Amino acid sequence: MKTTHCSLLVKIFLWFWATVLITAIASAITFWARAHSSPYQWHASLIETARRSGENAIQIYEQNGPIAAAKYMAMLRRDNLQNPCLFDRSHNVLAGRDCDTVADMLPDLRDPGVPDFGIRSGVGRVALILKSQSGHEYIFATELPPQAPRPGPRLTRLGFALQWGVALFVSGLICYLLTRYLTAPILRLREAADQLASGDLTARASARISPRRDELGDLVRDFDAMADRIEELVSRQRQLISDVSHELRSPLGRLNVAIDLARQRKGDDPAFDQAEQDTALLDEMIGRLLTIAKLDVSARDIPMVQVDLADLLAQIARNANFESHPNEDRVKLTIETAPLVHGNPELLHSAIENIVRNAIHYTDPGTQVEILLNRDSAPKQSPARIQIRDHGPGLPESELTNIFRPFYRVAVSRDRQSGGAGLGLAIADRVVRTHGGTIRAQNAPPNGLLIEILLPEQTPGTPDVPA
């Protein structure tokens, strides 16, 4: 079934076009509403002038008669008004000249005090019903003189601010909605990508974004399809490593039995010693592969308890010194603080011991491997920090992140003959990440390698699960 597809380019174009149109309409409505709710300054001035002039004309007419009123109208014409005229309620002219020019406004008048205002040929015109002190009603009409300001809006500061405020609000609201519409799926994709990169293979983009029929919807669907494929491939790879490792244990055990039987029949031979070393190395590699597979597949099911890092490191240092040389301390332990962490003691012991053994192997003769336990003071919630430093050759800067990959070796300093299967640091990396921590390597001046582990401290109220 073919689905309709609206290009993101078209959507952006339509949104911005709609923004311009709606802003213009909102500005026009504001201008119209202001013009009809609050008269302009020239408008209000004309009406007030007509009211005062009309009241004076009515008073003169009633007190002094039509001739005096006509003289007053002539004076108004000379001063500031054009065609001022005084009418009775029957629309008969009482005073003034050329009153036909304003007589067409009289039929529109209804209530006293409510003026009729209009514009003709660029000239403002006003007519209004006025009451005299005697109670009689008259009509006064006039036009804006040519020398006065032509009709046109004079915006006050309040009107100017109102008009621009509405325009900015409407355009800002539409642009905000457009920004949310465009960035929401991108931010969700970024969050899902970070989760996927950190090892959460179940991370997917929001299901609300997938139905979109544009480029972003296509991107979300492609991302989810990629995540499904990655999860499937990685799960198969982990399961394959676990299955192969289990299957290798049986023939490896039979091989050890065969070596023992051959030694009994043929006697001691250096070839048997080499074969035993190789089978021991294979057994170690298989055991560590099973550990990696277990951490990758069932990391969430690992039991956690309260672990005292000071006691854990003291035991590791004690064992390392005893194994390396009974009369010489190859490992120096410094404990500045003794934090507690929520973790699995066996896994933490194995991970840190792998790093310490590796450091002992590469440190220069006559030097010590230094272990420091304290708290990292940089973040707000200071995690426990473990630093393990040797005084060996160090590593190239480009290799400092690669050493935590399984079976990875740095050609200049690590190979099969130097010992190890290339899995110790990979296990340490997975153990630390399983505990919500981080691990990194850096060269320590003047020489040597420093491995730093940051583990979150146990927060009050964290339940312990028996291991």
Q: Are residues 66 and 95 in the same domain?
A: yes
Q: Are 262 and 304 in contact (CB under 8 A)?
A: no
Domain range for 247: 223-297
Which residues on neighbouring strands pair with residue 87, listed in sequence order? 93, 139
Q: Are 313 and 352 in contact (CB under 8 A)?
A: yes
Number of domain units in the chain: 4
User: What sign for the dihedral angle of Cα 74, 75, 80, 84?
Assistant: negative
Q: Are residues 353 and 419 in the same domain?
A: yes
3-state secondary structure of 111: coil
pLDDT of residue 33: 59
Q: Are residues 255 and 313 in the same domain?
A: no
230: domain CATH number is 1.10.287.130
Whether the full predicted model's pTM is greater than 0.85, yes or no, is: no
134: domain CATH number is 3.30.450.20
Q: Are 45 and 73 in contact (CB under 8 A)?
A: no
Block residue for tokens 């005096």: 68
Q: Are residues 327 and 448 in the same domain?
A: yes
Q: Are residues 162 and 22 in the same domain?
A: yes
- At 40-58, the pLDDT tens digits run 556 677 788 888 888 899 8
pLDDT of residue 411: 56
Does a structural domain hold residue 108?
Answer: yes
Block residue for tokens 């409407």: 170
Q: Are residues 133 and 274 in the same domain?
A: no
- At 382-423, the pLDDT tens digits run 689 999 999 998 888 888 888 888 767 665 444 444 555 567
d(CA 68, CA 49): 20
Block residue for tokens 């642009």: 175
Block residue for tokens 């035991």: 315
Q: Are residues 25 and 165 in the same domain?
A: yes
Does a structural domain hold residue 2?
Answer: no
Q: Are residues 244 and 393 in the same domain?
A: no
Q: Are residues 340 and 415 in the same domain?
A: yes
d(CA 413, CA 377): 34
Does a structural domain hold residue 12?
Answer: yes
Block residue for tokens 């005299």: 132
346: domain CATH number is 3.30.565.10
Q: Are residues 346 and 402 in the same domain?
A: yes
Does a structural domain hold residue 23?
Answer: yes
Does a structural domain hold residue 462?
Answer: no
Does a structural domain hold residue 217?
Answer: no
Q: Which of 56, 34, 19 is nearest to 153 (CA)?
A: 34
Q: Are residues 435 and 338 in the same domain?
A: yes
Instruction: Count each helix (H run) and each strand (E run) in the chain, helices first.
Output: 10, 12
3-state secondary structure of 450: strand
Does a structural domain hold residue 210?
Answer: no
Among candidate residues 143, 177, 205, the one where a domain is terminated:
143
Q: Are residues 399 and 369 in the same domain?
A: yes
Residues with Cβ within 8 Å of residue 248, at least 6 apart in sequence: 282, 286
Does a structural domain hold residue 120?
Answer: yes
Among candidate residues 282, 297, 312, the one where a domain is terminated:
297
d(CA 78, CA 309): 104
Tens place of pLDDT per residue across the chain (467 aa) = 344 445 656 666 677 777 777 777 766 666 665 555 444 556 677 788 888 888 899 899 989 988 898 898 888 888 777 788 999 888 888 998 888 888 888 888 878 878 888 777 767 788 989 888 888 899 999 887 654 444 444 555 666 677 667 777 777 777 777 777 777 788 888 888 888 877 677 888 866 676 777 777 788 888 888 888 888 887 777 677 666 666 676 777 778 778 878 877 777 777 777 787 777 767 766 766 666 666 665 555 678 889 999 999 999 999 888 887 666 778 999 999 888 898 888 889 988 998 998 899 889 988 999 999 998 765 556 689 999 999 998 888 888 888 888 767 665 444 444 555 567 788 888 888 888 889 999 999 888 999 999 998 876 555 554 44
